[in-house]
Amino acid sequence: MTDTPVNTRHPKGLWVLFGTEMWERFNFYGMRAILTLFLVNSLMMKEEDASLIYGGFLGLCYLTPMLGGFVADRFFGNRNCILLGGLMMAAGQFLLFFSASVFGTNISLATTLMWSALGIIIFGNGFFKPNISSMVGSLYPKQEKSKLDTAFTIFYMGINLGAFLGQLICPIIGDVKDNAGIRDIHAFKWGFLAASVAMLIGTAVFYVLKNKYVVTPEGKPLGGLPSKNDASDFEEGESQKAVFSQKALIIAGIVFLSLGAIIHFVFDQNLIYTLIYSSGLTLAGLIVSDTSLTKVERDRIFVIYIVAFFIIFFWAAFEQAGSSLTFIADNQTDRNFFGWQMPPSMVQIFNGLFVVAFAVPFSMLWDYLRSKDREPISPMKQSIGLALIALSYFIIAYNVKDLGNSGLLAIKWLILLYLIQTCAELCLSPIGLSLVGKLSPKRFSSLLYGVFFLSNASGYALAGTLGSIMPATGDKFIKAKELGIDLQAVLDKTVTPTSEQLQLLSKNQISDHNPIFAGFEIHNLFEFFMVFVVLTGLAAVILFALTPVLKKLMHGVR
Ligand code: GLN
């Protein structure tokens, strides 16, 4: 070994995975940017319902990776699952293109197509996402695992470069308004078509280059059929897979159903949200009930659970990007960006842009602090992430406070929000992934990643619920005025609308009452944003207070 120079270069396969993931995220985030606007403007849904669909869709996209990971491990292998997932997502986007082409003449067909498309994309994402991420890990032989942190930083940049491009192209061609600000509701289809083409390119890139580059240093193909893989990557003497007893599985089944019943009937969550929350909790319980766990292993798993719980609030706040924040960008924002009217769905592009700009400086910052022995432990970084997201909403809350029903928010505040949220993301998201890797006993590693992804899924579901409590924005007041209705008075209950007026409001997707959250009425955008400040701020403080305990439970892992 001594005469072999240390190889600091990354395998070429990383760049193939980078390119494939970049096109896939183009397809995913490009479509995400315009989805809710399409649901509201073309399929005539209420913003509230669009937010719930959006949250459920994203949540399910993080539930199906469990299935995709399982199918790859047992049957098809990573490569086939990536190809299958890519083709499914391209097909799903094409169905959305079809839906956005026919809604003008047949809205019920368009709605059916939209549901089928989202279903296919959810499963496609489930096959694609876990497998491409785990292939990044398997590119590096055991002695080169130290390069993994940098590899994942590069990969995270690929993700966000794709997100940036998707959020640039799909809004430009899909979210089109004329000079008078009137939207072309038939343009969304081009955005979905671009997403479909991007996914086809990504799949083709992977198909063509995989055999040459996605290989071991000896040139053997990676991620093939599981029957052809060997277990050389595992430590000797350690079992690779967790095996649960039949009794444990039956109890887990009963717990899953009972929790489901409570979440659905007592907490009044829809079936999709119930499925997400209940699977996460059950899987978490199943893992810790395993009797083979040592005390140290169990302690570390509890740390994963505690962190996973707190980051639910992070994603719930962060994922307002494609729903409430897009609606606000659309309806109550001055989007003049250096003399150009930016499409509302494009405003979220600043997240991807800032990640690409800051991912490397952030990892350099952690390296620097580590060299000085002052690097915060992972849960501390995550509490900083939560505090930053609370700050981002606090700034916005104060800027919408005096807007009233007709004032416009300056776009710079949304850009600042995305800047702060990106710093928060970089403190929390990549760190979370590597923390799970470091704390998990090997035999439970993929299941614990499953729990972690399910906490992301729960965050998205909560994002849907929180997005749906956005109160009426300026456009609703203007529209109501055109209909001869004083919406403010209706919301304040100082006038009682006639049944005709109620019908008119509902036909125009305007609610006649303020939303309620946890027993509180949300009267305006200030109160709406303060919900996020309180939730994420409290989460930050509690996680911060818990860090000394967590540090102990981590037993030396940072
Ligand atoms: N933005 C990242 C991605 O799309 C992370 C999202 C997440 O982990 N929830 O992969």
Tens-place pLDDT, residues 510-539 = 999 999 998 999 999 999 999 999 999 999
324 and 471 Cβ atoms separated by less than 8 Å: no
Among 546, 548, 551, 554, smallest CA distance to 296 is for 554
Q: Distance (Å, rounded) from C-alpha 467 to C-alpha 463?
A: 6
Distances (CA, A) of 119 to 72, 112, 506: 20, 11, 28
Domains in the chain: ranges and CATH: 12-215+246-471+514-553 (1.20.1250.20)
Single-letter amino acid code for the residue at 197: V
| Ligand 1 centroid to residue 244 C-alpha, Å | 30
- The pLDDT value given to residue 526: 97
- The pLDDT value given to residue 150: 82
Single-letter amino acid code for the residue at 233: D
Percent above pLDDT 90 for the chain: 77
- Is it the case that residue 210 has pLDDT exceeding 80? yes
- Is it the case that residue 235 has pLDDT exceeding 50? no
Within 13 A of 139's CA, how many CA atoms are on the CB side? 29
133 lines ligand 1 (CB under 6 A): no
| Ligand 1 centroid to residue 284 C-alpha, Å | 21
**pLDDT band, residue 2 (cuts 50/70/90):** very low
Q: Which of 28, 31, 136, 159 for a ligand 1 pocket mutation test, highest count of atoms within 8 Å of Cβ?
A: 159
324 lines ligand 1 (CB under 6 A): no
**Which residues have CB under 8 Å from 271's CB, separation 6+?**
264
**Which residues have CB under 8 Å from 448's CB, separation 6+?**
287, 301, 304, 436, 439, 440
- Is it the case that residue 121 has pLDDT exceeding 90? yes
Q: Atom 8 in ligand 1: which residue has the minimum CA distance?
A: 429
Please calculate the CA angle 236-146-232 and round it to the nearest 5 degrees.
25
- The pLDDT value given to residue 133: 85
How do residues 156-166 score in pLDDT, each as one tens digit? 999 999 999 99
**pLDDT band, residue 276 (cuts 50/70/90):** very high
428 lines ligand 1 (CB under 6 A): no
Q: Distance (Å, rounded) from C-alpha 365 to C-alpha 358?
A: 10
Percent above pLDDT 70 for the chain: 96
| Ligand 1 centroid to residue 401 C-alpha, Å | 31
Helix (H) or strand (E) holding 280: helix 271-288
466 and 318 Cβ atoms separated by less than 8 Å: no
Residues forming a β-bridge with 215: 221
Residue 453 phi, psi (nearest 5): -65, -35
Q: Distance (Å, rounded) from C-alpha 128 to C-alpha 115?
A: 20
**pLDDT band, residue 153 (cuts 50/70/90):** confident
169 and 30 Cβ atoms separated by less than 8 Å: yes
Q: Distance (Å, rounded) from C-alpha 72 to C-alpha 68?
A: 6
Q: Atom 2 in ligand 1: which residue has the minimum CA distance?
A: 159
Q: Distance (Å, rounded) from C-alpha 47 to C-alpha 39?
A: 8
Point out the least confidently predicted range of 72-76, 206-210, 397-401, 418-422. Answer: 72-76
456 lines ligand 1 (CB under 6 A): yes
Among 125, 93, 94, 99, smallest CA distance to 112 is for 99
3-class SS of residue 177? strand
DSSP secondary structure code for residue 322 in this structure: T
454 lines ligand 1 (CB under 6 A): no
- Is it the case that residue 1 has pLDDT exceeding 50? no
36 lines ligand 1 (CB under 6 A): no
Point out the least confidently predicted range of 49-53, 61-65, 84-88. Answer: 61-65
282 lines ligand 1 (CB under 6 A): no
Is the model more confident about 292 or about 349? 349
How do residues 483-492 score in pLDDT, each as one tens digit? 999 999 999 9
Q: Distance (Å, rounded) from C-alpha 460 to C-alpha 61?
A: 10
| Ligand 1 centroid to residue 156 C-alpha, Å | 8
Within 13 A of 90's CA, how many CA atoms are on the CB side? 16
Q: Atom 9 in ligand 1: which residue has the minimum CA distance?
A: 456
- The pLDDT value given to residue 405: 86
What number is the average pLDDT over the span 75-92? 96
Residue 517 phi, psi (nearest 5): -130, 125
How do residues 297-342 score in pLDDT, each as one tens digit? 999 999 999 999 999 999 999 999 999 999 999 999 999 999 999 9
How do residues 447-480 score in pLDDT, each as one tens digit? 888 888 899 999 999 999 999 999 999 899 999 9
What number is the average pLDDT over the span 147-157? 85
Q: How far is CA 121 from the centre of its chain?
A: 14
- Is it the case that residue 229 has pLDDT exceeding 90? no
**Which residues have CB under 8 Å from 158's CB, separation 6+?**
17, 18, 19, 21, 22, 25
| Ligand 1 centroid to residue 62 C-alpha, Å | 10
159 lines ligand 1 (CB under 6 A): yes
Q: Distance (Å, rounded) from C-alpha 514 to C-alpha 523?
A: 6
**pLDDT band, residue 196 (cuts 50/70/90):** very high
- pTM for the structure as a whole: 0.91
| Ligand 1 centroid to residue 72 C-alpha, Å | 20
DSSP secondary structure code for residue 241 in this structure: S
Q: Atom 5 in ligand 1: which residue has the minimum CA distance?
A: 429
328 and 409 Cβ atoms separated by less than 8 Å: yes
279 and 63 Cβ atoms separated by less than 8 Å: yes
- Is it the case that residue 240 has pLDDT exceeding 80? no
Exposure b/e, 439-452, CB count within 10 A at least 16 = b: bbbebbbbbbbbbb
Point out the least confidently predicted range of 100-114, 200-214, 442-456, 519-533. Answer: 442-456
The DSSP bridge pattern shows strands 333-334 and 409-410 to be parallel
- With the C-alpha atoms ordered 291, 292, 294, 297, is the resulting torsion angle positive or negative? negative
Classify residue 481 by burial, with Cβ atoms within 10 Å: 0-12, 13-18, 19+: middle
Q: Distance (Å, rounded) from C-alpha 318 to C-alpha 418?
A: 9
431 lines ligand 1 (CB under 6 A): no
How do residues 215-227 score in pLDDT, each as one tens digit? 988 888 888 887 7
363 lines ligand 1 (CB under 6 A): no
Instruction: Give the length of the chain.
Output: 558
429 lines ligand 1 (CB under 6 A): yes
136 and 87 Cβ atoms separated by less than 8 Å: no
Within 13 A of 235's CA, how many CA atoms are on the CB side? 5
Name the range with the highest mean pLDDT among 125-129, 150-154, 385-389.
385-389
How do residues 368-419 score in pLDDT, each as one tens digit? 998 999 989 989 999 999 999 999 999 999 999 999 888 999 999 999 999 9
73 and 346 Cβ atoms separated by less than 8 Å: no
- Is it the case that residue 364 has pLDDT exceeding 50? yes
Mean pLDDT of the chain: 92
